[in-house]
Amino acid sequence: MVAIGAVAGVIATKFVKPKYEVYARVMIAEPPDPRGPIRAGNVLNEAAWRELLTSFAILDPVARGLRLYVMPTNPSDDRLFAEFDHTTQLRPGKYTLAIDAAARRYELSRKADKEAAVVERGSLGDSIGRSVGFLWQPGAEALAGRKELVFDVRTPRDAASEIERRLVVVLPMESRFLRLTLKGERPQLLAATMNRILG
């Protein structure tokens, strides 16, 4: 039984993605004049801080600035999307970029309802995905040696909504230290996201 459990544990680690958490503590200062329009009670209101930090006024710029609306399946491919942007015609979905280096051609497919359909073909070095709202032109050299890229695209608002679901904001009673926790699967991206929220 011990051997079976050990083997099952090893197999499970191959399929379970690790989860990470980043934490931050923010000290809340008193207003300079307690007789002014902002009272201490308002400053220390946990619900108000949670509403502010999870508002789209805060999270939309974070999602756009870090390009959280495009997520490659392989984290090491993040660099290929460093200049990725979009138009108002953006079509969310799961995309596959097939690369034929010998012919210097690419084929972009979008998966919808369990079936993939080719949405665009072109030459490496050209803009990719204009027909589905992408503003993206990775150099042919950057794609050299690659056969396929798989990535998810969603709207920036959907990406901001996901941050909101994973962000926990707590202000303990009688404390001036606001605690923030953010969970996810990519530690470096989590840290960058938290820094943007606090920035």
Residue that wins the pLDDT comparison between 199 and 34: 199
Whether 127 has a pLDDT exceeding 90, the answer reads yes
Interval 66-90 mean pLDDT: 93
Nearest to 155 by CA among 84, 57, 53, 64: 64
CA gap 68, 62 in Å, rounded: 8
Interval 46-65 mean pLDDT: 92
Report residue 53: phi and psi, to 5°: -75, -20
Number of H helices, E strands in the chain: 6, 10
Interval 141-166 mean pLDDT: 93
Residue that wins the pLDDT comparison between 139 and 157: 157
Whether 7 has a pLDDT exceeding 50, the answer reads no
Tell me what pLDDT residue 164 has. Answer: 95
Tell me what pLDDT residue 148 has. Answer: 94
Tell me what pLDDT residue 90 has. Answer: 95
> Sorting pLDDT into bands at 50, 70 and 90, what band is 16?
low
CA gap 118, 110 in Å, rounded: 6
Residue that wins the pLDDT comparison between 143 and 41: 143
CA gap 32, 56 in Å, rounded: 28
Nearest to 128 by CA among 67, 84, 177: 84
pLDDT above 70 coverage of the chain, percent: 83
Whether 98 has a pLDDT exceeding 80, the answer reads yes
Tell me what pLDDT residue 12 has. Answer: 43
Tell me what pLDDT residue 109 has. Answer: 96
Taking CB atoms within 8 Å and a gap of at least 24, the contacts of 93-97 are 93/132, 93/152, 93/153, 94/150, 94/151, 94/152, 94/153, 95/129, 95/132, 95/150, 95/151, 95/152, 95/153, 96/148, 96/149, 96/150, 97/128, 97/148, 97/149, 97/150, 97/151
Mean residue pLDDT across the chain? 85
Determine whether domain 18-30+40-65+158-198 maps to CATH 3.40.140: no
Tell me what pLDDT residue 19 has. Answer: 86
Sole residue written with tokens 């990725």: 84
Whether 39 has a pLDDT exceeding 70, the answer reads no
Interval 73-98 mean pLDDT: 93
Tokens read off for 144? 């050299």
